[in-house]
Amino acid sequence: MSDATLSAPTRARRRLPQINPIYFVLLALLVALAVQSSSFQEPVGHINLLKRAAPLAILAAGQIYVIVSGGFDLSVGSIITLTVVGSSMLLNNNPDATWWVILVMLGIGLGVGLINGLVVSYLKVPSLIATLGMMITLNGVAFMWSGGAPRGYLPDSFRMFGRMNFTDLPWIRIFPVALIVLLVIGALLWWLMHRTNFGRVLHAIGDNPRAARLGGVPVERVRILAFVVSALSGVLAGILLGGFAGVSTDVGVGYELQAITACVLGGAQLLGGRGSVLASIAGALTLTAIFTLLNFLGLPQPVRQVVQGLILIAAVAIAMYRRKHAGR
C-alpha cells in the first residue's frame, strides 16, 4: 500500500515515530524542573540552563562527527583543560592578548585533531586507545606547563564568552554570549553534517568503510577531518568553561564521557553510521537538565556519577538492540 492511499491519521502515525525520542524526554524534564523550582516557570530559568549546557552541547556536536565515522574521541576533556590552563599562562594577566591566545589555542586543537586522525587512520590504532593516550599526554602537558598551579587569571575580555549576558531584554530578560556561541557553532556543525557531501560520506564510512572505500571515498582524509572538528569543539568548550569557572587543572575532567553520553542519548550508533548534530545537542541539554534536577532534589555528587553511568549503559543497550533488530 502506497503512502498516498493512506488516510491522514495513518500517515501522521507513521511520521510520529520518526521524531527522535530525546526531544520528548527533554520536554518532560523541563516540565519537571518547572514543577520543582519556580525559577524554571519563567524564561530566564531556561535561558540559564542553556547557558550552563552550552559547553557540553558544543562538545557533543563535535564528538558526534567522530562517533558517526565509527570511532571515539576521549581526548576532548583534556583539550578543555589545556585550553583553560594554556590560555591563563599565555595571557599572563594581559587582556590585550585575548584574541591571539584564542587563535593559538585553536591552532593547538587543530594539531591535536590532526594527530589523533593520523594515528587512527594511517597507523590503524583503535580510536579508543589513540585518544586515551592523547588524553593522558595533554593532561600531563597541562600539569607541566602550569606546575600544577596555574598562575595568573583569565581577564574579562576572555571570560566574556562564558560569563557575559545581554540584559534588560523584553520577556526573556537576559541572553548569554555563550548561547550565541552555541547557536552559531551548532548551526555550522549541523550544516556541515547534514547539508554537505562531507556529512554524507562521513555516514557512509561509519556504516560500511569498505564499501565507502570501493566507492572512491577518501576514508582517511574524512576521518582525520572528523577528529579535527571534535578537537576544535573541545577548544571552544574550554573557552566557555574558562569564562564560567576560571582556571583549574581539572576543569575538563569527565567531559569526554558526558559528550559521548549526550550523543548516545541523541540516538547515535556507537559503531558508526548514524547520528545527528541537533539530537546530540538535545542529549547534552537533557543530561544537564537531569543533573540540575538531581541538585534540586538534594542528591550528592556520587549519585550524579551513578546516574550518568546507568544512562550510558541503558542508552547503549537500547541502541545495540535496535541495531540488531534492524538487521545491521
Asked if the structure places residue 57 within a domain, the reply is yes
The per-residue pLDDT for 315 is: 75
Asked if the structure places residue 227 within a domain, the reply is yes
- Is the model's pLDDT at 176 over the cut of 70? yes
The per-residue pLDDT for 28 is: 95
Distance CA 290, CA 245 (A): 21
Asked if the structure places residue 264 within a domain, the reply is yes
- With CA atoms as reference, report the closest residue to 225 among 319, 147, 102, 121: 121
Quote the mean pLDDT of the chain.
Answer: 89
Asked if the structure places residue 90 within a domain, the reply is yes
* Cβ–Cβ < 8 Å for 166, 182: no
- Is the model's pLDDT at 328 over the cut of 70? no
Q: Which residues contact 195 (CB under 8 A, 6 or more apart)?
A: none
* Cβ–Cβ < 8 Å for 87, 242: yes
Average pLDDT, integer, range 221-229: 97
Distance CA 319, CA 90 (A): 43
Q: Which residues contact 148 (CB under 8 A, 6 or more apart)?
A: 249
The per-residue pLDDT for 258 is: 93
The per-residue pLDDT for 199 is: 94
pLDDT tens for each residue of 260-285: 999 999 989 888 888 999 999 999 99
The per-residue pLDDT for 322 is: 67
Asked if the structure places residue 260 within a domain, the reply is yes
Q: Which residue has the higher pLDDT, 86 or 312?
A: 86
Q: Which residues pair with 176 in a beta bridge?
A: 165
pLDDT tens for each residue of 42-96: 889 999 999 999 999 999 999 999 999 999 999 999 999 999 999 999 988 888 9
CATH of the domain at 318: 1.10.3470
Segments forming the whole domain that contains residue 205 = 44-325
Going by the DSSP 8-state scheme, the letter that residue 147 receives in this structure is T
Average pLDDT, integer, range 280-304: 89
The per-residue pLDDT for 17 is: 55
Asked if the structure places residue 2 within a domain, the reply is no
Q: Which residue has the higher pLDDT, 5 or 280?
A: 280
Asked if the structure places residue 16 within a domain, the reply is no
The per-residue pLDDT for 135 is: 97
Cα 104 to its chain centre, rounded Å, is: 21
Domain count, the chain: 1
The per-residue pLDDT for 283 is: 95
- Is the model's pLDDT at 179 over the cut of 80? yes
User: Can you read off the three cell numbers belonging to residue 166?
Assistant: 545581554
- Is the model's pLDDT at 325 over the cut of 70? no
Distance CA 80, CA 178 (A): 16
CB neighbour burial string for 233-268, b if at least 16 within 10 angstroms, e if fewer: bbbbbbbbbbbbebbebebbeebbbbbbbbbbbbbb
- Is the model's pLDDT at 3 over the cut of 90? no
Asked if the structure places residue 246 within a domain, the reply is yes
- Is the model's pLDDT at 6 over the cut of 90? no
Which region among 70-74, 108-112, 293-297, 322-326 has the lowest average model confidence (pLDDT)? 322-326
pLDDT tens for each residue of 127-142: 999 999 999 999 999 9
**Residue labelled with grid coordinates 571570560:** 159
